[in-house]
Amino acid sequence: MKVKRNINEKGSALVIALMIMVLLTLVGLGITRTTDTDVDVSKNDMFHRTAFYHADSGVYTVPKVISQCIDNGSDAPISGITYLGSTDTFYREIMGYNAHDADKDVRFSIGGFNVDVDVNRTGQKNLAGGGVEFASGAEGVAVGSAGGVAVFYDLDSLGRGPSGSQSEVIAEYRKVIGVVGGL
């Protein structure tokens, strides 16, 4: 039995196969592009997190620097910390002798990226309890005493990361004079 073919059907399988191959190629290219975009987004997220963690470390490091400067009575030389500005400018600003300026005050590096922190003394307050509250002044701040003087600072920390990424963390710090520690 002989099958009769229509002349219009010759080569139609080849055309259909080519169309399917073109369609699959386009789908593959679309998936590749989506994957590349996802990888770029992940890298940018990692860069931003790195910059954020650097900025966050400024908020945790600078209170310790403030405490050391207050304890020493000047810009305390601390390994890895650079004071921006002239000698004792940072100390004079945190003590309230100099007015706050908008320039960054302290710089240190993490993994080759700078962290710059601006410190602004915003005020002070006598805390309840102890010698301050009862005007005796002899006890100071120690065992059995909850009072003292709190000095308030605004910390503006700018951290940098790979590919020019930057992140800024703003925090408020309260230093209780006479109490050990930075945070």
Q: Which regions in the chain score pLDDT beneath 50?
A: 132-133, 140-144
Q: Which residues contact 111 (CB under 8 A, 6 or more apart)?
A: 54
pTM over 0.85? The answer is: no
| Residue 17 CB neighbour total at 10 angstroms | 10
The DSSP bridge pattern shows strands 113-127 and 82-83 to be: unpaired
* Bridge partners, 115 (sequence order): 108, 159
pLDDT at 144: 46
Q: 5-55, pLDDT tens digit by residue? A: 656 666 778 888 899 999 999 998 888 888 888 888 899 999 999 999 999
First to last CA, the chain: 96
Residue indicated by tokens 């020019």: 164
pLDDT at 33: 85
pLDDT at 108: 96
pLDDT at 149: 86
pLDDT at 3: 60
Q: Which amino acid is at 19?
A: M
